[in-house]
Amino acid sequence: MPTITTEDGTKIVLSEEQYSEIIKKSEKNKFTIKNRFTGDIIFASEKTTWKEVIKEAIDARANLTGADLTGADPTDANLTDANLTRANLTCANLTHADLTGAKLTGADLTGAKLTCAKLTGSDLMDSNLTHADLTCANLTGADLTCADLTGAKLTDADLTRANLTCANLTHADLTCANLTHADLTGADLTGIEVKGCNFYFGKSFLGLETFVKYIHTIKKNGKLLDVPNK
C-alpha cells in the first residue's frame, strides 16, 4: 500500500484510490508547457507564475521550440538568449521582459504586449507581430526580416539599426519611433503613421520625403515601387 510521510515523520497508509487522487491534484497544480504542434508536454513545473516557470524552463535548458505560451504572463521576466523559435505567444504579456538576443524566428506574437520590452539583437525573422504593442520597446539591432507588423504599435520604439527588410508595416504606428540606420529595403509601408519619427542616414536627421529616397524599393497599396537611391 502507498504511504506518505508528514512533516513530523508520521507515516500514513493510503488506499490506491486516495493515492491516485493526491497525484491527480498534484498534477493539476503544475504549470505545463506543451508543443503547439504535437501537444506533447515540453516542461512541467510546480512554480506558481509564468515568469518563474519560463525562467526555470530556460535554466533547465528545456527545448521551447514550438512552445504553446498563449496568453502567458511572464512580465519582467529575464528571457535573455531564450530559444522560442516558432513559439505561440499570442496575447502574451511580455511587458518589461528582457528578450535580449532571444531567438523568436517564426514565433506568433499576435496581439502580444511588449511594452518597454528589451529585444536588443533578438531574432524576429518571419515572426507574426500583428497588432502587437511594442510601445517604448528597445529593438536596437533586431532582425525583423519578413516580419508581419501589420497594425503594430511602435510608438517611441527604438529601431536603431534594426533589419526590417521586406517586413510588413501596413498601418503600423511609428509615432516618435527611432529608425536611425534601420534597413527598410522592400518593406511595405502602406498607411504607416510616422509623425515625429526619426530617420538618420549620415550627418543629419531627414524628413519622410528625403527618407523615402534612401529605400531601394517600397510598397504602396500592395504595389512594388522602384525608388532611386540618391
Confidence of residue 223 (pLDDT cuts 50, 70, 90): low
* Averaged pLDDT for residues 49-76: 93
pLDDT averaged over every residue in the chain: 84
Percent residues over pLDDT 90 in the chain: 56
Q: Residue 56's CB: how many other CB atoms inside 10 A?
A: 15
C-alpha 9 chain-centroid distance: 47
Domains of the chain, by residue range, sit at 64-230
Q: Which residue is associated with the grid cell 497594425?
A: 151
Confidence of residue 3 (pLDDT cuts 50, 70, 90): low
Domain 64-230, CATH class in plain words? mainly beta
Supply φ then ψ for residue 223, to 5 degrees.
Answer: -105, 135
Q: What is the pLDDT of residues 180-216, one digit of tens each?
A: 888 888 888 888 887 777 766 544 344 455 455 444 4
Q: Give the model confidence (pLDDT) of 82-139 as tens digits.
A: 999 999 999 999 999 999 999 999 999 999 999 999 999 999 999 999 999 999 999 9
Output the CA–CA distances (angstroms, integers) from residue 192 to 97, 163, 173, 182, 215, in the order listed.
Answer: 26, 17, 6, 16, 15
Q: How far is CA 133 from the centre of its chain?
A: 10
